[in-house]
Each structure stands twice: as structure tokens, then as C-alpha cells.
């Protein structure tokens, strides 16, 4: 298996632009997680899905952020409009789903908002 795939790996954009990050989870995994990592705040869980349904989005910073999972093999995290404080590394992870199961992380997308 190729593991969790994220694209793009790097994104540089200007303030006010729309940004879309993409994730393909490992086939057969029921859970998908979106995280954000910064030096100041560490690793933060933004939202997670179970069987394509959003379960907990309490970590989404504000209405500028939205996430979708239209099918079991694809998810997007969208920021509109983007701001410099959104600059971070965004990780997607997937898991088979029980509490004993490992989460498998993608390589991350490094977002820079100028």
C-alpha cells in the first residue's frame, strides 16, 4: 500500500486566496483525521471523519476552514480566505478505527500564506 497520500506537498499563496489541501487515506480505513502543526501550538486535531461522516469538528479554527469527505478514498481541507496565521504543516492521517489502532500519517502539506 502507498500509505496516506497528500497533495500538494508545498503550497505558497497570498493572503485572501483560497487554498485546497487533498488527502487519500489508506484503503479500508474507516477514520480520517486532519491535523495542523505549528511551532507555537504544536499538533492540533482539526476534524475527523468516520465512514465519510464528520464526527468532531471542534478543532476547526473558524468558518474560513471547511473539510469534506465525498467518498472513502478522498478528503479535502479548504481555507477561504487564507491568512498569514494559517501558515503551518497540515497532516492527514487514517486509521482502521478501534481505540487500539494505529493512525497512519501522510507526509504533510507545508502551507505558507504571504
Q: Which of 95, 81, 73 is nearest to 22 (CA)?
A: 73
68 beta partners = 76
Contact letters for other proteins, residues 48-87 (x by CB under 8 A):
x-x----xx-------------------------------
Q: Choose which of 2, 40, 53, 98 interacts with other proteins (CB under 8 A).
A: 98
Q: Residue 30, interface with other proteins (CB under 8 A)? A: yes
If the CB atoms of residues 42 and 70 are measured against other proteins, the closer one turns out to be: 42
If the CB atoms of residues 59 and 81 are measured against other proteins, the closer one turns out to be: 59
Please give the Cα distance from 1 to 82 (Å, whole number): 33
Cβ neighbours for 95, distance < 8 A, ≥ 6 positions apart = 29, 30, 31, 33, 101, 102, 103, 104
Q: What is the contact surface with other proteins in residues (CB under 8 A)?
A: 4, 30-31, 33, 42-43, 45, 48, 50, 55-56, 91, 93, 95-108
Amino acid at each position: 500500500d502507498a500509505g496516506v497520500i497528500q497533495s500538494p506537498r508545498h503550497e505558497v499563496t497570498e493572503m485572501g486566496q483560497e487554498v485546497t489541501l487533498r488527502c487519500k487515506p489508506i484503503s479500508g480505513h474507516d477514520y480520517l483525521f486532519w491535523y495542523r502543526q505549528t511551532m507555537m501550538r504544536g499538533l492540533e486535531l482539526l476534524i475527523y471523519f468516520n465512514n465519510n461522516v464528520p464526527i468532531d469538528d471542534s478543532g476547526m479554527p473558524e468558518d474560513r476552514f471547511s473539510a469534506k469527505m465525498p467518498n472513502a478514498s478522498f478528503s479535502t481541507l479548504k481555507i477561504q480566505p487564507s491568512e498569514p496565521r494559517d501558515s503551518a504543516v497540515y497532516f492527514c492521517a487514517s486509521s482502521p478505527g478501534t481505540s487500539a489502532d494505529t493512525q497512519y500519517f501522510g507526509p504533510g502539506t507545508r502551507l505558507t500564506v504571504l
